[in-house]
Amino acid sequence: MNYTTQMDAARKGLITDEMKIVSKKENIDVNVLRSLIAEGKIAIPANKNHKNLNPEGIGEGLRTKINVNLGISKDCYNIDAEMEKVKKALELKAEAIMDLSSYGKTEEFRRKLVETSTAMIGTVPIYDAVGFYDKELKDISEKEFLDVIEKHAKDGVDFMTIHAGINKSTAERFKKNKRLTHIVSRGGSLVFAWMELNGKENPFYEYYDDILDICEKYDVTISLGDACRPGSIHDSTDASQIEELIVLGELTKRAWEKNVQVMIEGPGHMALNEIAGNMMLEKRLCHGAPFYVLGPIVTDIAPGYDHITSAIGGAIAASNGADFLCYVTPAEHLRLPNLDDMKEGIIATRIAAHAADIAKGIKGARDWDNEMSKARADLDWNKMFELAIDPEKAKKYREESMPEHEDSCTMCGKMCSMRNMKKILNGEDINILRD
């Protein structure tokens, strides 16, 4: 029996190769997985043209996944440097990479990325349109926007951010409810500007069915962009954000009618006490579709440290139902991240995702922590390094300050609780002051 997309296969009762791989990775019964894909509660972004993809599932009951943003820009045009970031992202076990390229030979970089990456690849086609056509934004036609989407799909992109929720009604709501930071989504601001400059409906909303046809043809997962996500804690959970979320819920159902897989993108900047409520709203209004969040960034005063503000929000968001975390680096709001920034962002986001998986009760999530705790109790340093989320940094810290006695560290020395409890429980003298 033939199928067009993972959702189509699931609804026909078929088990795809991608489902088998995800089932094994997640230790979940493949028929349970298939059923959740059929309902839209899990997506497996897997473009038919991404031949070396190592597929991942995103959604209910699965491990929280993380995404890494990278790409070339006019101010930092260096394809080789971005490919180094790709290699590092794969090495650090990111499940997804988004190409946010907005200048120059984006097609060359995108194709190279798809060819290289075993992780799923996402893009935001509107970023590419201006450079691809070498036109001012207002002069790009509706058909030209759709042609870029098809080009990305044909190149093997697994998921695409499409800002279809900011239609004329949402835009009017935004204008009537003033914000401190306006529209901070880059794609959202471009769509809003195009609408205002041309006096027309959002082409991604007006021609949404045509976009779905493209996604179905290549099995591209549509990631419904949050054009009205809050860019400050002042603007979170306001009328614009919620109206757009309602529209995204409607667009989700339309996508599922064509067997197109969907993810919903979410905030943004948001105070701690609003996060759980926002996760519940998304799941209710968007019918349980997987939720993909940036952060949330929980305070606006920490430029240079936004990988931390984001990890705090991400852990809370994922423990309350978010399924996919977009990393944030220390360079957020400041500049294009370099390789070190990217590593810091990935590690912080992976910690947040894992902490949330423990809270969500994901099967096997605690096993890693229990192994680390046993290695600590045994003072097995090599095992601790092996289990560390960043072994390189753990080894470096240890080697920079070696203790006099191997069974301790330079913080506690022979007063180390692990050392002394091990000795006492083995019937030995702890000899703190004697050699």
What is the model's pLDDT at position 339?
94
Convert the pLDDT of each residue in 274-321 to its tens digit.
999 999 999 999 999 999 999 999 999 999 999 999 999 999 999 999
Tell me the CA distances in angstroms from 302 to 36, 162, 173, 309, 334, one per residue in order. Answer: 39, 29, 30, 7, 11
Q: Return the percentage of the chain with pLDDT > 90, whole number.
A: 87
- Joined together, the tokens standing for residue 224 give 């419904």
Residue at 244 is within a domain: yes
Per-residue pLDDT reduced to its tens digit, 69-94: 999 888 888 888 999 999 999 999 99
pLDDT (tens digit, 9 = 90+) per residue, 153-193?
Answer: 999 999 999 999 999 999 999 999 999 999 999 999 999 99
Phi, psi values for residue 263, rounded to 5°: -125, 150
Residues 6+ apart with CB under 8 A from 167: 201, 202, 205, 247
Inform me whether the pLDDT recorded for 198 exceeds 90: yes
Q: Buried (b) or exposed (e) across 184-218, using 16+ Cβ within 10 A?
A: bbbbbebbbebbeeeeeebbbbebbebbbebbbeb
Give me the mean pLDDT over the 130-135 stretch: 86
CATH of the domain at 101: 3.20.20.540
User: Where is the binding site, in residues?
Assistant: 69, 98, 127, 163, 185-187, 226-229, 265, 269, 292, 333, 409, 412, 416
> Cα 96 vs. chain centroid, distance in angstroms?
7
C-beta atoms surrounding 51 within 10 Å: 9
Please report, in range form, the residues annotated as the binding site for substrate: 69, 98, 127, 163, 185-187, 226-229, 265, 292
Backbone angles phi, psi at 98, to 5 degrees: -105, 125
Residue type, position 53, single letter? L
Cα–Cα nearest to 324, from 269, 379, 376, 262: 262
- Token pair, residue 91, equals 């090495």
Burial bucket for residue 349 (CB in 10 Å: 0-12, 13-18, 19+): buried
Query: Which residue from 298, 304, 355 is spatially nearest to 330, judged by alpha carbons?
Result: 304
For 80, half-sphere exposure in the C-beta direction (CA atoms, 13 angstrom radius) is: 0
Closest Cα to residue 37, out of 249, 290, 364? 290
C-alpha distances (whole Å) from 327 to each of 98, 310, 330, 346, 403 are 11, 8, 10, 6, 36
Identify the domain containing residue 17 by its residue range: 6-360
- Using only C-alpha atoms, the chain has a radius of gyration, in whole angstroms, of 23
Question: Length of the chain in residues, anyone?
Answer: 435
Question: What's residue 106's pLDDT?
Answer: 87
- Return the pLDDT at 192: 98
Taking the C-alpha atoms of residue 158 and residue 67, their distance in angstroms, rounded to an integer, is 13
pLDDT at residue 103, rounded to an integer: 78
> Residues forming the annotated binding site for Zn(2+)?
269, 333
Tens-place pLDDT, residues 2-24: 999 999 999 999 999 999 999 99
Quick: pLDDT tens for 328-359. 999 999 999 999 999 999 999 999 999 999 99
Task: Please determine, for residue 134, whether its predicted confidence score (pLDDT) is greater than 90.
Answer: no
User: Two tokens at 181?
Assistant: 């930071």
Sign of CA dihedral 203, 152, 156, 67: negative
Within 10 angstroms of residue 45's Cβ, the number of other Cβ atoms is 31
Closest CA to 132 of 110, 160, 162, 156: 110
Q: Report which residue type is found at 212.
A: L
pLDDT for the residue numbered 398: 93
Count the domains in the chain: 1
Task: Tell me which residue of 96, 107, 85 sits closest to 161, measured CA to CA.
Answer: 96
Q: What is the pTM of this model?
A: 0.95
Mean pLDDT value across residues 240-252 = 98
State the pLDDT at residue 435.
66
Identify whether 278 is part of a domain: yes
Residue ranges for the known binding site for [4Fe-4S] cluster are 409, 412, 416
Q: What does DSSP assign to residue 156?
A: T
pLDDT at 146 > cutoff 80: yes
- Residue 125, domain member (yes or no): yes
Residues paired with 99 in a beta bridge: 70, 123
pLDDT at residue 63 tops 80: yes
Has residue 372 been placed in a domain? no
Residue 395 lies in a domain: no
**Residue 380 falls within a domain, yes or no?**
no
